[in-house]
Amino acid sequence: MAASAGPEIERLISLLSKLPGLGPRSARRAALALLKRRDQLLLPLSEALSQAATKVRTCTTCGALDTQDPCAICADPARDNSLICVVEEVGALWAMERAGAFRGRYHVLGGLLSALDGVGPADLRIKTLVERASANGVREVILALPATVDGQTTAHYLAESLAQAGVSVTMLARGVPVGGDLDWLDDGTIAQAMRARRPA
Amino acid sequence: MAASAGPEIERLISLLSKLPGLGPRSARRAALALLKRRDQLLLPLSEALSQAATKVRTCTTCGALDTQDPCAICADPARDNSLICVVEEVGALWAMERAGAFRGRYHVLGGLLSALDGVGPADLRIKTLVERASANGVREVILALPATVDGQTTAHYLAESLAQAGVSVTMLARGVPVGGDLDWLDDGTIAQAMRARRPA
């Protein structure tokens, strides 16, 4: 890639290019930026990665990533124990938290059911979800899964699995996103928004 | 950003978002990818960064980055001492090496003259360039600088500074890039390619 740059730089570029969003070219740019800012960026990033590697773990209750187990959300006494929001991955949990519209507990599935990718129920944290949902005091499980085929397959499977738990199972509303111009929206979204229309 | 993710993850995301090509959103995705692949990606990257920080240095002759000083190119006895190719940054040097069209020596300026950004001749490695160009056996200095206003200003300044060195000063040809469709090229490039036309 950079024939003359020495194996240390080559290795750095090759690892950086494995990050999502970085290809070989942007990995080279990132490596150069790091090497130019050794004290402000390269060394702090190396340290932050090693800190994350030693300190961050998966919460055994909900599956989120945190430096404590149970995680800060599971440990927060102010949050509503009667609501569990099911998300595919930690990234979705972070997005929900940024939106600030939910103050209950979470459950990270760790993926979606997918016949194509060979992901079955045993590969996901479904058993512990049913256990948590069956506990005293849980009223509602909200499925915040992607509006994709795999997301919907998983949602149906979870709804069935949770039937015995005696909780209501809901899912996020579908409709026109905030700032969404009808011109740019796909037909499926428009059709769903029309079917789910409500008084203005 | 990710209110509930703990300070270690926050810090990792914030450092990653300083890399060129990564914004806050892609930095979060990258952090998640790292945390999910601790042994294959997170720890190796941390180690590669720390290796690069300790081992990679700037070549005192040409300004390139390498683990040895003089760098591998400056130390290579097979390369042509009579040619010096001047580049803005190490990234351009790597690009030249990938193209494989040059087997002489390099000189990394470390930037371009820019009145707007307050970069003057003393901020660049111009004095050492003139010294190297004045040495015995150097025939030609090739200016491989960007075809921008600052690049051209710098090229003119270097051509004047090198006049006393008794070498010929050349620059990369301008024209239609390989695979370049005229429909998509800017007018300036087409005009330059027309002026510099040659027998087919």
Could you give the domains of chain A? Answer: 78-171 (3.40.1360.10)
pLDDT of residue B132: 96
Query: Among A14-28, A75-89, A120-134, A164-178, where is mean pLDDT lowest?
Result: A164-178
Is the pLDDT at A2 greater than 70? The verdict is no
pLDDT of residue B192: 82
Contact A97 B2 (CB under 8 A): yes
Residue A49 near residue B67 (C-beta atoms within 8 A): no
Chain A (101-120) residues lying within 8 Å, Cβ to Cβ, of chain B? none
Centre a 10 Å sphere on the Cβ of residue A39 and count the other Cβ atoms it contains.
8
Using a CB–CB cutoff of 8 Å, tell me whether A78 touches chain B: no
**What mean pLDDT, rounded, does chain A reach?**
90
Q: What residues of chain B score a pLDDT lower than 70?
A: 1-4
Edge-to-edge strand list for the sheet holding B168-171: B105-108, B83-87, B140-143, B168-171
DSSP three-state, residue A168: strand
Separation between Cα atoms, residue B22 and residue B10, nearest integer Å: 15
Centre a 10 Å sphere on the Cβ of residue A49 and count the other Cβ atoms it contains.
28
Query: What are the counts of helices (DSSP H) followed by strands (DSSP E) for chain B?
Result: 8, 6
pLDDT of residue B2: 46
Using a CB–CB cutoff of 8 Å, tell me whether A196 touches chain B: no
For testing contact with chain B, the best of A46, A50, A103 (most B CBs within 10 A) = A46
Which stretches of chain A are DSSP H helices? Answer: 6-16, 24-36, 43-55, 72-75, 90-99, 126-134, 149-161, 187-195
Q: Find the CB nearest A49 among B20, B45, B52.
A: B45
Contact B53 A42 (CB under 8 A): yes
pLDDT band at A4, cuts 50/70/90?
low
pLDDT of residue B121: 96
Say which residue, A3 or A181, is predicted with more confidence.
Answer: A181
- Percentage of chain A beyond pLDDT 90 is 68
Using a CB–CB cutoff of 8 Å, tell me whether B134 touches chain A: no
pLDDT of residue B109: 96
Q: At what angle do helices B24-36 and A90-99 cross, to 10 degrees?
A: 140
pLDDT of residue A160: 95
Using a CB–CB cutoff of 8 Å, tell me whether B187 touches chain A: no
pLDDT of residue B187: 82
Contact A49 B46 (CB under 8 A): yes
Q: Find the CB nearest A6 among B43, B46, B72.
A: B72
Tell me the pLDDT tens digit for each residue of B23-78. 988 999 999 999 999 999 999 999 999 999 999 999 999 999 999 999 999 999 99
pLDDT of residue B4: 57
DSSP three-state, residue A187: helix
